Structures are given as structure tokens and as C-alpha cells.
Structure 1
Amino acid sequence: MEFRHLVSFLAIADELHFGRAAGKLHLAQPSLSQHLQRLEREVGVKLVARTSHEVRLTPAGVAFQTEAKRILDQAGKAVQAARDAAAGRAGTINIGYNFPAGHRVLQPTLVRLHATHPGLIAHLWERRTGPQLKGLLSGELDVGFIFGLPPTNDLRSREVLRLPLVAVVGEQHDWASREQVPFRELEHQACVLFSRTQSPAMYDTIVTTAERLRIILRVAAEVDDPGATALVLNTRPLVGFASLDRVRGTKGPVAVPLIDPVPMLSVHVVWRPNRTKVVDALLDTLEETGPFH
């Protein structure tokens, strides 16, 4: 399987238009089509459905897109690591993070880190808690920023931020115009959740708060991808959940503060016990930059 064929497929997947994808890669459109055909022959299934009116990914294409991105990301990391070593740079650090950490914690921390360690290259990967933990334990990530404590003694952690969990609804939902909603009222709403493995701390915060109030959440859908969750909320009268930063200032779903009680989430920085110099540099800089609010 050739990398150029993966690149061509991902351009088609992003643009859903052969002309724009070809222009993006500076390829002739027939060459782009040939790359896709060869890739589909090698994979053995149809990845892209094309008519005179539209271009769309098949279900197999959607599944393949996720893995193809990971392959190219890993290849890019390998190339960068080799270049850094050849150039005598201070090294690289692979950082996983969730949305609030990226918005509130990493931006000021990385500004300071780049000033004090100009040769250190940071590679950033936005992921939910579950995939971050998997990446930390496998060695793919050096540091992660997750919701809650890590569920294993194989990792070390420190709290860096606390923030509220909010309800999220589509613009046509009855709650969209409300300034705040008591948590207990969720008993009368159908909800969209995610699998616990994706974000155990957020999931447990939602479920245990409902249990303390002795209400039962009616889960009408389970969606793991935040972007897909937003689409579901915009098309169905459901209530979802997110950290406030995820939906603040964005178009589409509306954030509705929950009260009585206000469910709170903690964000922890997480690392493996055998800390490297680059991890030490990041953690020291994190300490110098905080506290974060």
C-alpha cells in the first residue's frame, strides 16, 4: 500500500469533490482517480461512491479514513523524529489533550515552554480520555491531559483544572432559550451519551449525579465522536453533555448550565513513572505557568 494513495484518498474524503481534492494535491484529476482505484483494488472494497451529483464515502470508506489518518500521522512522527535527531534538536514530546486542556492549559504552557526550550518540538493530539490512556500505556504519547484520575497505578497524575459540565441541545430544543436547568429535569428528557471507555470520568460524573438525585437517565443514543454528537443534537430533540469550553462560542448546539447540583469535572495531566527530560521540562513549565482557571 503506497502512502501517496492514502494521501489521495484522504484528500477526497476531506473535500468530497475530485476537482478540489486534485487541486489541493496539485495532481491531475485522472491521476487522483487512478490512485483511488488502485487503493480500492488493494483494500478489496469500495471506499468512495461517486455519481454525477455527489461524492461520498461508503461505510467502509468512513472506517478506512480513521485508520488511514493514523497511519500517516505515525509516518509523520517517524520522519520528524529522524530529522530532529539529525539536526541535534532537544527532542520531541507527544502530548495528548482534551478540548479544555488545549484551550486553557496548553496554550500558555507551550508559549513558555518554547521560550525556555526552543529546540523542543511538541506534537499535539486531541483525543478523549480513553484513547489518551491507551496511547500513554503503549508509549505513543508522553503526556496526556484527561478528565479525572487515571484508572491504573501504571500512570502518575496531577490536577490542573476544574470546570463545569453542561447540558447541550440543538437550537430548536425547548431548553435552548433557558439560562440554566436543574439537573433533576433530565429525568424528563431523552439523552445522548457515549461509551464509558471514551471518557470514564465524564460518564461517571453524569451517572453518579443522577443516582444521587434518584433519577433515571433515558439514553436514546450512544455516540462516541463529539462532531457526530453535535449533528445528532441538531437533528433530534435530545440532550447531550460536554465541558463548557467544548461548546462555548461555537455555532450549532447550545450549552445550557446545569444546577442543583453543578456537575464538576477535573482535568489531570498524566504521565508514565519513568519520566524523561522532555516530560520533566513540560511538567516544570506547567507548574510555573499555572494555576489555570
Structure 2
Amino acid sequence: MELRHLVSFLALAEELHFGRAAARLHVTQPSLSQQLQRLERSVGVELVSRTSHAVRLTPAGRAFETEARVVVAGAGKAVRAARAAADGRAGTVRVGYNFPAARHVLSPTLARMHAEFPEVVVEPRERRTGPQLAALAAGDLDVVLGYGRPVTGNFRSRALVRLPMVAVVGREHPWAGRERVPFAELAGQPCVLFDRARSPAMHDAITSAARRAGIRLDVAQLTDDPVATAILLSVRPLVGFASATRVAAGQDVVPVPLSDPSPAVEVCAVWRAEEDPVRDAFLSCLEVVS
């Protein structure tokens, strides 16, 4: 059974006249009759009763007409969906993001997507940068909004916003009242550092700053949980780190700006190098944040 035979049958069902139906389909009457015969052989029953005076649907033909319309409409919908996806106008894009990306990038991007590509569904998934990149490589995410640029040639990236990093201490720590601390003063200070597997860009930003300052960090503990870090800092004389966006002065911890050097991280969009029009529609709505 071919789709064109269903289309021809529906035209005949509406016109109930071989000549008019053939003209509407831009085929000859003999061709239309052959298509109907092939369709009836495929179905196994007579669908159209024709005499020299009239053309009408049989009871089987009327029942077949209802379902044939559903099939033809579904085929048309499938074609439109495929063309929209090929043009980047419909489909789903899975986007991983971290806290700073949500604060600076994701909301305005989603608003622009809704206005310019209303048929595209965006699935946001909050994760740390390391797990985001692993999911991107595995094909479970289409775009990563996280810290840093990966070095693999399989990915493409774009920097979106640059964020300074600060030291974070408990309210009883000697640094809690200082406006700024030179990075070299971290020498000998026990600190809590990011787990590189989960936050490689932040880990590297701090260790690179330590090298430039000519010091070696005294890493007392590795963690990647901001809540756990805040608890540790509130009860022990440790120094933690965070992006300036992530931490604010609160009940238990205090941010302290660092200088000479001042470490920073970039929030970047990262995606696979392969072609994907729907993902590219999302990327077109991203803007670099100053």
C-alpha cells in the first residue's frame, strides 16, 4: 500500500467523480483507476462502487476513508516536523548548566529562544562542569554551559562571561575582615580545593594562580560541594574558593577578594563539532555577557 494511493482514494472520495478527481491530482483517468484497483487489491475489499451513472463509496470504503485521512495527515505532519528540524525550527536541545550560567546566561537565552524558535524544546539540566563534559561526549547533552574550554578537537566552544574568583573563609578567620588578600599569603594556609574531575577549570585557575604567585598550596581537603565547604570553613580555620557570583557574605562564611594575581574563570558554551541545526538555533540565541 502506497501513500499516493491513499491520497488518490481520498480525492476520489471527495469528488465522487473520476474525471474531476483525476484533474485535481493531475493524472489521467486510466491512471487513477489503476491506482484504485491496486489499493483495493492491497486492502482485499471493494472500496468504491462505480457504474456508468454514479460513483460512491462502499461501507468498507467509508470506514477506510476515516482511517486513511489519519494516515495522510500523519504523514504530512511528519514531513513538516522533519523539515522544521532540518531548519532548526523544531526539536529538542538538551542543555547542561552550572549556577553562574543559570544566573548570567540561561534565563535571557531561554526568553530569546521562546521568541525566535517557539517550537524548539529546551531541556535544562544542572550539573557541575566535569559531569557536563562527560555527558556531552557520551551524547547525553547537546550543549554545555560551564567553566572553561576543553582542549579536545571534538568540541567547539565560545566564552560567554568571565568571573573573578575569591577566597572564602569562616567569620572567625583572621582574613574575614580584610578587603583584599595578596595570593602569596595563601602559602602555609590550609585550604579546601575543588575536585578537578568535577570542576577542572576552577581547580586549574587556583593552581595556576599559585604557580604565578610562586607558592605551593597546602591542600587540606578536596571537595566539590559548596554546602559542605561552607560547613568546613565555619568550624575550621581553612580557606576555600568560589566564583564571585556563587558566594556572598552570609551567616557563616565571608568572601575575600584575591590579588597579585586575581584568579578568574570563564563560563563557556561547549558543543560537539558535528552538524545539528536545532542545537545551532540555541547557540544563535546565546550572547556574550560583559
Do both share a fold (TM > 0.5)?
yes
Identify the match of residue 288 of structure 2 among 269, 288, 291: 291
In 1, Cα distance between the equivalents of 2:204 and 2:178? 25
**Structure with greater Cα Rg:** 2
Deviation at 1:187, TM superposition (A): 0.9
- Residue matched to 1:210: 210
SS state of the match for residue 205, structure 1?
helix
Distance 1:115 1:250, change over 3 A: farther
Q: Following superposition of structure 1 onto structure 2, how do residues 72-151 of structure 1 map, counting pairs within 5 Å?
A: 90-151=90-151
In 1, Cα distance between the equivalents of 2:164 and 2:270? 20
In 1, Cα distance between the equivalents of 2:188 and 2:255? 18
In 2, Cα distance between the equivalents of 1:158 and 1:176? 36
- Residue matched to 2:46: none
- Over the matched positions of the two proteins, sequence identity in percent amounts to 53
In 1, Cα distance between the equivalents of 2:171 and 2:150? 35
Distance 1:104 1:191, change over 3 A: same
Deviation at 1:250, TM superposition (A): 5.5
1:166 aligns with 2:163: no
In 2, Cα distance between the equivalents of 1:240 and 1:221? 10
Deviation at 1:249, TM superposition (A): 6.3
- TM-score by length of structure 2 reads 0.66
Amino acid at match of 1:232: L
- Residue matched to 2:247: 247
Unaligned runs of 5+ in 1: 1-84
- TM-score by length of structure 1 reads 0.65
Distance 1:252 1:142, change over 3 A: farther
Deviation at 1:99, TM superposition (A): 1.6
SS state of the match for residue 198, structure 1?
coil
- Residue matched to 2:154: 154
In 2, Cα distance between the equivalents of 1:124 and 1:154? 22
- Residue matched to 1:281: 281
1:195-233 C-alpha deviation (Å, 9 max, x unpaired): 211122211111121112211111111112222222222
Equivalenced residues, count:
204
Deviation at 1:120, TM superposition (A): 2.1
In 1, Cα distance between the equivalents of 2:187 and 2:217? 6
In 2, Cα distance between the equivalents of 1:257 and 1:234? 18
In 2, Cα distance between the equivalents of 1:112 and 1:121? 13
Contact 2:249 2:255 in 1 (8 A): no
In 2, Cα distance between the equivalents of 1:97 and 1:144? 6
Unaligned runs of 5+ in 2: 1-77, 82-88
- Residue matched to 2:196: 196
